[in-house]
Chains A and B, each alone.
Chain A
């Protein structure tokens, strides 16, 4: 009797790939910048999950480190792109920004 667990994991990776492709359609056809940014963020989360499950399929758990690094880079890239499109620069003196914002 063979172990059925790798086949279940393989089906899970196929479902995750389908979800990633659907998220890519929103990334291509999103009306605004923020739709595309949301699609990129969600795609990154699905990529982290895909890497974890795939490392269990090939029975080499070292790749979970790669998944952790990718999660970190995804979050930092999202914040950096948001800041760049808010202020048109990546180096911002936040005291000037606080002077410009009236409340909120």
Chain B
């Protein structure tokens, strides 16, 4: 949506007659700024998820860290690429990739968690005891 607005504003931007900054320069700078901010946020989330997968003590906590942060980080990085791209075909392909990752990543996370729970993978319990498989009526 942001890209649509920026690309629609491009033909309107005329070069300044007095040798100043043209409108196209401002549009390009804004696009680069949005791209850099989104890329930094996405890379932060991806790295945080990876460090969580390495350092957390339990399988389910690792799964939570990986699933959540990979989904959000991937969406932010793909949004940065969408802002940076020029042609409509590339925007359509990137939107397809983003939608597919947004649908399949939580699905795969849920499938892995359910399979581990059915196979009897025990979580490390704290002071509050989680319900086990035998407690299910």
Interface residues of A (CB under 8 A from B): 4-5, 8-9, 12, 15-16, 18-19, 22-23, 25-26, 32, 34-35, 37-39, 41-42, 45-46, 48-49, 52-53, 56, 61, 64-65, 67-68, 71-72, 75, 78-79, 82, 85-86, 103-104
B116 within 8 A of A: yes
The DSSP consensus for interface residues of chain B is helix
Please state if A53 and B49 are interface contacts (CB–CB under 8 Å): no
Please state if B116 and A45 are interface contacts (CB–CB under 8 Å): no
Given contacts A52-B81, A71-B104, contact A25 B111 (CB under 8 A): no
Q: How far is the CB of A49 from chain B (nearest CB, A)?
A: 5
Contact partners of A71 in chain B: CB under 8 A: 97, 100-101, 104
Please state if B107 and A22 are interface contacts (CB–CB under 8 Å): no
Q: How far is the CB of A60 from chain B (nearest CB, A)?
A: 10
Given contacts A61-B90, A64-B94, A104-B136, contact A34 B47 (CB under 8 A): no
Q: Name 4 extra pairs, CB < 8 A, besides A22-B50, A23-B50.
A: A5-B32, A16-B46, A19-B47, A34-B119
Which of B39, B77, B121 meets A8, CB within 8 Å?
B39
The DSSP consensus for interface residues of chain A is helix
Count residues of B near A (Cβ-Cβ below 8 Å): 47
Given contacts A38-B112, A41-B112, A56-B84, contact A48 B66 (CB under 8 A): no
16 contacts across the A-B interface (CB closer than 8 A):
A12-B39, A15-B43, A18-B47, A23-B53, A32-B59, A34-B116, A35-B59, A39-B53, A45-B101, A53-B81, A61-B85, A72-B100, A75-B104, A86-B119, A103-B136, A104-B118
Please state if A32 and B87 are interface contacts (CB–CB under 8 Å): no
